[in-house]
Amino acid sequence: FLFFVCSRALIFPFLIREGKPTPFFTFVLALLFCVFNGYLQGRSLTTYAAYPPGWLGDSRFITGFLGWLIGMAINIHSDHILRNLRKPGETGYKIPRGGMFEYVSGANFFGEILEWFGFALACCTIESFAFALCTLFILGSRGRQHHK
């Protein structure tokens, strides 16, 4: 969880070349959501979650961890494809090709949804499942808009 959040917050912004400016209100809402969610996930995992001995070898944890890892790889690769769609100074819409974009038009969204459902399965907490559902609804609607 921390690896993804740090890479998304500290590394990803420096990789973006150009883009549309983000409205301040949208930035504030995203920041508040991330702070609240980070607190909620951290608090639930460190204070309330109790795992039996051998949990790291349990099929739910292993399957969830692999789902998280594959989802993160899809997300990072898809972001790389999107960042390199246009040459510097180029504008206009381009359809991404390669990777999971060959199968789904919002591959970056698909990767992140898979990632957080994997996280939810590995953690088996109501908080992680709630986050996965929020991710599905938010990114699913964005993916549908991008597809249209």
* Model pLDDT, residue 14: 67
Contact by Cβ (8 Å): 112, 139: yes
In single-letter form, the type of residue at position 24 comes to F
| 20 DSSP assignment | P
* Model pLDDT, residue 84: 87
* Model pLDDT, residue 120: 97
* Model pLDDT, residue 18: 64
> Could you list the mean pLDDT of each consecutive 10-residue stretch along the chain, which spans 148 residues?
70 67 82 87 93 96 97 93 83 87 95 96 96 94 89
Question: Using N-to-C axis directions, what is the helix angle for 59-83 and 107-123, rounded to 10°?
Answer: 160
| d(C-alpha 8, C-alpha 2), whole Å | 10
